[in-house]
Structure 1
Amino acid sequence: MNWVTDELSSGRLHIGDHLPSERALAETLNVSRNSLREALRVLEALGTIQAATGSGPRSGTILTAAPEQALTLALNLQLATSHVEHSHVYEVRLLLETWAAEHSDPDRGDWDSAERLLKLMDDEQTAVADFLHLDAEFHVLLSRAAGNPLISTLMDAMRTSIADHTLARAQALPDWTATASRLRSEHRGIFEALRGGERTRAAELVRQHIRGYYLETAS
């Protein structure tokens, strides 16, 4: 793991590159192939590499560097042990998403993709689980306009970690149709404010949006 980090830091390896063969890498690191395989399994679980069998350019072990996967695993463990509660996730979401709105730059936003997500959520036949998945993707996409990849990575990890809990809470609501209608309207308002460069207004709309849904589903 240290070797991979050093190779990435030095620029000798880049995202998308193939790692050397197991045999060559074991010889380079002076470890057994069994020890190497254990380390590779950990790296794959953390989203650092992707191993694929077969032939072709996507076979072998490739550096992928998907940090949200590692963060999701860590957060899942924290939630499972009740060390971190869902109210804590709500508070962090407020901090991250309002900061992202306050620092958003309209020129960095992928507004076409965001509008596509809004249109998909406008379909009233969309299942609750699908709506929530689109909702999560929408929020993460908007945060990228702030130009801080760590913010969107943390948001992606958090929303993935609480997906099952969020779905259970949504399905327990007495009138999901009314809730979904309100969320669509709020999403559109946030989208228009960010696209128009109204960062202060967008941040306040985000705050109201997150707080309102949390209070509605916390009861």
Structure 2
Amino acid sequence: MRTHERVLASIEADLAAGRWGLGERLPAERALADELGVSRSSVREAIRVLEAMGIVRTAVGSGPDAGATVVDRPAAGLGAAVRLHVASGTLAVRDVVETRVLLETWAVREAAGRAAPSPAADATDATGVAGGGEVTGFTEARAGALAEARALLDRMDSPDLSAGAFRELDASFHLVLVRLAGNVLVEAVMTGLRGAIESYVAAGSAGLASWERTAERLRVEHRAVLDAVTAGDGALAERLVREHIEGFYRETGL
């Protein structure tokens, strides 16, 4: 094991043990180097790896914000890794599509199946403390995500929208759908895949006979998926999003 890998292993163990939490700073390079018996360059290399993985954020200087701070960006490193593997040809577009179908079909079915809280959940308990705060927060977040999804679709209806802007809104819409499922890790994986998805969608769009005709079909399909999720029809939402993703893949001949 190389020296910087030993530093990474030590920091990982300390994170797992709760030595540092989100928003807290790691010790200075010199302090970590002395503690671990390694060179400052090895510590610096390990910190660079952690920053690329989205585990820490670094800032130069000597103020309170200087050094490496623990952050929560699980999709950062994943997205970069996926994009590079797709670009190098080691990760086939078909694999990206299949992974996307796997995640999004689960997500829309889960999102559709999340029932609204019962009136009893919001009732005040015997101690006089309202018991529905957490549930109410969830329903408010869900309503906000649904409203965001509808707003994205409304923006995609603009006749002056370029193909690139449409694709960007399209990607954002699908991320909102996944967010509705409430699984942070699945959302992080999808966020990490976004760059790779946008790359193959852009490549496929360039070869279409009529982008305008395809875009109109995608608009209709987006609305249908969102309607199914909103109505709580998980089976329909799952089928529609599968047909939507795989249909575009087949149409472009990728």
User: Stretches of 4+ moved more than 4 A in 1?
Assistant: 54-59
Taking the TM superposition and a 5 Å limit, the aligned residue runs for 1:156-195 are 156-195=191-230
RMSD over equivalenced CA pairs, Å: 2.2
> Of residues 23, 30, 47 in structure 1, which corresponds to 2:30?
23
Any gaps of 5 or more consecutive residues in structure 1?
none
**Are the aligned partners of 1:98 and 1:203 in contact in 2 as well (CA < 8 Å)?**
yes
Q: Provide the C-alpha distance between the structure 1 equivalents of 2:64 and 2:216, rounded to a whole number of angstroms.
A: 45
Taking the TM superposition and a 5 Å limit, the aligned residue runs for 1:18-97 are 18-54=25-61, 58-97=65-104
Task: Give the C-alpha shift of residue 88 in structure 1.
Answer: 1.6
The Cα offsets for residues 48-79 of structure 1, whole Å up to 9 and x where unpaired, read as 11112357665432222322222223323432
Percent identity over paired residues: 40
TM-score (norm 1): 0.88
Q: Provide the C-alpha distance between the structure 2 equivalents of 1:188 and 1:130, rounded to a whole number of angstroms.
A: 18
Q: Would the alpha carbon gap of residues 8 and 94 (structure 1) be closer, same or farther in structure 2, given more than 3 Å must change?
A: same
Given the alignment of the two structures, is residue 144 of structure 1 paired with residue 144 of structure 2, yes or no? no
Task: Give the C-alpha shift of residue 98 in structure 1.
Answer: 0.7
Task: Give the C-alpha shift of residue 194 in structure 1.
Answer: 0.9
Q: Provide the C-alpha distance between the structure 2 equivalents of 1:211 and 1:161, rounded to a whole number of angstroms.
A: 16
TM-score (norm 2): 0.77
Task: Give the C-alpha shift of residue 39 in structure 1.
Answer: 0.8
Larger Rg: 2
Any gaps of 5 or more consecutive residues in structure 2?
1-7, 116-138
**Are the aligned partners of 1:51 and 1:61 in contact in 2 as well (CA < 8 Å)?**
yes
